[in-house]
Amino acid sequence: MQVEAFLEQTADRLPDKVALICQGARFTYRQIAAQSRRLAITLRARGLRRGDRVAIFLDSSVEAVVAVFGALMADAVFVMIHAATKPDKLAFLLNDCRAAALIAHGRFGHLGAQAAALPPTLRQVIWVGAGAAPSGASSTLAMRWEEAIAPSLEGAAFTKEAIDIDLATIIYTSGSTGFPKGVMMTHLSVVTAATSITQYLENVEDDIILNSLPLSFDYGLYQVLMAFKVGATLVLEKSFTYPQLILERLGSEHVTGFPLVPTMLAMLIKTQNFSGAHFPHLRYFTNTAAALPPAHIAGLRERFPGTRIYSMYGLTECKRVAYLPPDQIDRRPTSVGKAIPNTEVYIVNAAGGRARVGEIGELVVRGAHVMCGYWERPEETARALRSGPLPGERVLHTGDLFKMDDEGFLYFVGRKDDIIKTRGEKVSPKEVEAVLYRMPEVLEAAVLGVPDAVLGEAIRAVIVPVAGATLTAQTVLRHCAQHLEDFMVPKSVEFRTALPKTTTGKIARREIQTGERALSLLESAP
């Protein structure tokens, strides 16, 4: 089965059902399927081939959803790019995946022009909405969205060749090296993950799911895929900027499923009208990306006694790993549960053997949802994917440290690398440090996460300025805001005269953060 079948089969079965509610507009499965099919026809007619990458640089909108399925129907691989991405990183991503097509909001037209180094592979750009006039390399075929999905295209055909072990998507994630790396997911991986998750969430056609997470984040993207798979309705919000707006929508649309990250709950729990009495239709919450503080779980249980809470754990490299059955949450609030259906997990200790009960080790994941590697990163792929029990099989070494209790429930302990988790997003300290080092006044820089009640971890930049240079926190933050997505911009800057070093002379990031980091790990341990 291929991922686009989620839409195609539901559109056959329930053509007039509302698939998507976005910005006050409602779209049926028939409409979404028709627009996606026409987009696929346009992409193919303009030279897109099986396996080509289609970059989607849009905020959460009907166009973004149609772009995903249009790319898949055209046998292409879609690549979501966060709408807050700055020009130099946009250029990096387009070049890294060697995009053949770009679908972007007209508002970002100036970024396209600034992204001087557009890849030579880019043969078509489709602009959505008003904004900048189509621009780009002279050989690029630019067109407007309305033309790309014009009803007159209906009926044109092309031969579909892709099979389910072909790539469906490349999802970029922060790499510990400082450069984002593309996680390659086949149709089979995506279908396996979506099937497992909708099974344990018991999703049905009557579900109405509200998503306010970006679609460049796999957690947000899968809300679309899973809703379409079961024939549910998705309420798609551009952002969580105004929690009151989200609450209003939860009530007025009779939402049954609400995916959260801890930062969202930290904000909602302060709001008085966030309680089960106001939202009687809400069947479940899900949480992933980072653990919910036990106090927030207790608060949620008290306010929503009839709503299930699913604590989950996963990583982009296999989408999802574990979930805690909701009836366990009062008993084991700090556990992320057990493996999801059709997945096997185990913990490997430092000696390479299976960890005993309570022993800390690295979590390893087996299943058809495991990625097939990082796009054109053989060394990093070899570190993450290693031999499994069957000939030729590869299992995922997560880089996350876990322990298991005597009943097999999993507890997250920490990460093997220095990746920061803020607002539910993974941030590589090296990526932020690389931007800091572009300032001539910066001699040495280290970036670390410090505990924060709302963000989980807040990013702090610790800087040693060049002798005689005058550098203020605001200058540093302004520079960061010009080059990094908003969630990567540090929340605080600290100036020092020296940073601790390892014996080989490298900056010892972990030594800078020992105090606060160690404390946060202790607090989150079971």
Partner 1 sequence: MTEALEATIRNFVVQNFLYGDQTRPLGNDDSFLETGIVDSTGILELVGFLEKECGLTVLDTEIVPDHFDSIARLARYVHRKKNGNVHAG
Residues that bind partner 1 (CB under 8 A): 83-84, 107, 238-245, 263-264, 267, 270-273, 423, 454-455, 474-475, 477-478, 480-482, 486-487
- CA–CA distance, 317 with 185 (Å, rounded to integer): 8
Output phi, psi for 483, to 5 deg: -120, -10
Residues 6+ apart with CB under 8 A from 348: 354, 355, 361, 362, 364, 397
Compute the least distance from the CB of residue 289 to partner 1, in Å.
15
SS3 content of the chain, % helix, strand, coil (to 5): 30, 25, 40
The strand pairing partners of 403, in sequence order, are 411
- Those residues whose C-beta lies under 8 Å from the C-beta of residue 93, and which sit 6 or more positions away, are 55, 79, 81, 85, 99, 172, 180
Nearer to partner 1, 150 or 245 (CB): 245
Of 108 and 375, nearer to partner 1 (C-beta) is 108
Cross-strand bridge partners of residue 30: none
CB-wise, 92 or 487, nearer to partner 1? 487
Cβ proximity to partner 1, 138 vs 272, nearer residue: 272
The residue among 245 and 413 lying less far from partner 1, judged by its C-beta, is 245
Task: Work out how close the CB of 113 gets to partner 1 at its nearest, in angstroms, rounded to a whole number.
Answer: 16
Rounded to a whole number of angstroms, the minimum distance from the CB of residue 379 to partner 1 is 35
Beta strand 344-348 with 338-339: parallel, antiparallel or unpaired? unpaired
CA angle 491/288/206 to nearest 5° reads: 130
Give the angle subtended at the CA of 470 by the CAs of 465 and 473, to the nearest 5°.
75
Of 123 and 423, nearer to partner 1 (C-beta) is 423
Smallest gap from residue 513 Cβ to partner 1 (A): 22
Segment 116-120 long-range contacts (CB within 8 Å, at least 24 positions apart): 116/91, 117/91, 118/91, 118/94, 119/94, 119/95
Between residues 242 and 437, which has the closer beta carbon with respect to partner 1?
242
Question: Roughly how many angstroms between the first and final C-alpha of the chain, as a whole number?
Answer: 40
Q: Which two tokens stand for residue 504?
A: 């080989």
Name the residue nearer to partner 1 (CB basis): 361 or 456: 456
**CB of 460: closest distance to partner 1 in angstroms?**
15
The distance of closest approach from Cβ of residue 177 to partner 1 in the complex, given in angstroms and rounded to an integer, is 27
Task: Give the whole-angstrom CA distance, residue 114 versus residue 164.
Answer: 37
Comparing CB distances to partner 1, the nearer of 275 and 514 is 275
Rounded least distance, CB 396 to partner 1, Å = 31
Shortest Cβ distance from residue 107 to partner 1 (Å)? Answer: 7
Measured CA to CA, the distance from residue 398 to residue 364 in angstroms comes to: 6
| CB nearer partner 1, residue 22 or residue 480 | 480
Beta bridge partners of 183: 171, 374
| Residue 272: both structure tokens together | 């008085």
Query: Shortest gap between Cβ of 475 and partner 1 (angstroms)?
Result: 8
Length of the chain: 526
Token representation of residue 20? 């998507």
Is the separation of the CB atoms in 95 and 115 below 8 Å? Answer: no
Beta carbon of residue 242, minimum distance to partner 1 (angstroms, whole number): 6
Identify whether the C-beta of residue 83 lies closer than 8 Å to the C-beta of residue 89: no
Query: In 174-321, which ranges are E strands?
Result: 181-186, 208-211, 233-236, 257-260, 284-287, 308-313
- Indicate the residue among 252 and 475 with the shorter CB distance to partner 1: 475
- Least distance CB 62 / partner 1 (angstroms): 16
Identify which of 313, 317, 306 has the alpha carbon closest to the alpha carbon of residue 291. Answer: 313
